[in-house]
Amino acid sequence: MVMPATPIPPILKLLAHDVRWELVAQLSRSDRRVGELVALTERPQNLVSYHLGRLRAGGLVVEHRSSADARDVYYHLDLARLDALLRACGGAVHPSLASVATSGASELSAQPRRVLFLCTHNSARSQMAEAFMRQVAGGRVIAASAGSEVSRVHPLAVDVMAERGVDISRQRSKLLDLLVAQFWDVVVTVCDRVREVCPALPPETRAIHWSVPDPAAVTGTPDERRAAFRAAADEIAARVRFLGDDLGVTGNKWQDGAR
């Protein structure tokens, strides 16, 4: 009996264009503005904008207005959604492929990687990222965080991380000037404003930007403010997961408490 072919998954059609594939590749490592994507892909701005629109319509790319300059927009690739959609494609070919998971890094990094997370006040986003990275990578990463201004670890950040089984109550806010001069394999800015003031990094240091909205800037009821911190923690946890896999320090393992 001839088995009817299943329809081609929409995600494969969406990615099957060289410009969209280039954009996804660039955004898989760092959030970018249109001008940066134009320079990186060497494509005309109207072409880049058009295909970004297609990726947004497909639910793969989201945009976020910069907190440093409201005229700027950062584009972010939803890696978790892309991961789920690509895994689901296996089942469209054969049922046994539906449960096949990617193996992640072929081998764990032999030497601890040094990762620094930066935000303005070092009070929430960068503190969360530091703690999540330590949780998932253990001794395979030396993780730290700092800010362009000294503040304190926000109580709501402490609370929502405790909900995930991560204790950051002993972490302290630190100035980036004291840390950024050291050697780091990767420096991740998790705040638009701190990206603008971050000192120039050595060429061997990989610079990544995550345009994560500041939960401390949200006003409203206590429940609304807590929800903003929970949303930030969820987004950062997902981003840390993929960064850890990319660096070869997590072995594609992810703990339930950090989801």
Provide the residue-wise pLDDT of the chain in tens; the chain has 259 residues.
555 567 888 999 999 999 999 999 999 999 999 999 999 999 999 999 999 999 999 999 999 999 888 889 999 999 999 999 998 888 777 666 765 444 444 455 568 999 999 999 999 999 999 999 999 998 899 999 999 999 999 999 999 999 999 999 999 999 999 898 899 999 999 999 999 999 889 999 999 999 999 999 999 999 999 999 999 999 999 999 999 988 988 754 444 444 4
CA–CA distance from 165 to each of 152, 161, 192 (Å)? 20, 6, 28
The predicted pLDDT at position 105 comes to 45
Report how far apart, in Å, the C-alpha atoms of 176 and of each of 124, 144, 150, 153, 227 are.
15, 10, 9, 15, 28
Q: Which of 11, 23, 24, 119 is catalytic?
A: 119
Residue 70 C-alpha from the chain's centroid: 21
> What pLDDT shows up at residue 90?
80
Indicate if 89 belongs to the active site: no
What is the Cα 231 distance to its own chain's centre? 13
Q: What is the pLDDT of residue 138?
A: 84
Task: Select from 62, 55, 46, 69 the least CA-distant residue to 22.
Answer: 55
pLDDT at residue 108, rounded to an integer: 58
Per-residue confidence (pLDDT) for residue 131, from 0 to 100? 97
Strand segments, DSSP code E, in 120-235 are 141-147, 186-189, 206-209
Give the pairing of strands 206-209 and 61-65. unpaired
Catalytic-role residue among 191, 236, 240, 258: 191
pLDDT of residue 111: 80
Answer yes or no: are the C-beta atoms of 26 and 40 closer than 8 Å. Answer: yes
pLDDT at 253: 45
Residue 198 annotated to the active site: yes
What pTM value is reported for the model? Answer: 0.85
33/20 Cα distance (integer angstroms): 15
Q: Which of 198, 208, 218, 231 is catalytic?
A: 198
pLDDT at residue 77 in the model: 97
Residue 110: predicted pLDDT: 67
Catalytic status, residue 191: yes
Residues 6+ apart with CB under 8 A from 45: 34, 35, 38
- CA nearest to 180, candidates 140, 204, 146: 146
Instruction: State residue 64 phi and psi, 5-degree precision.
Output: -140, 125
Return the pLDDT at 55: 97
The full length of the chain comes to: 259
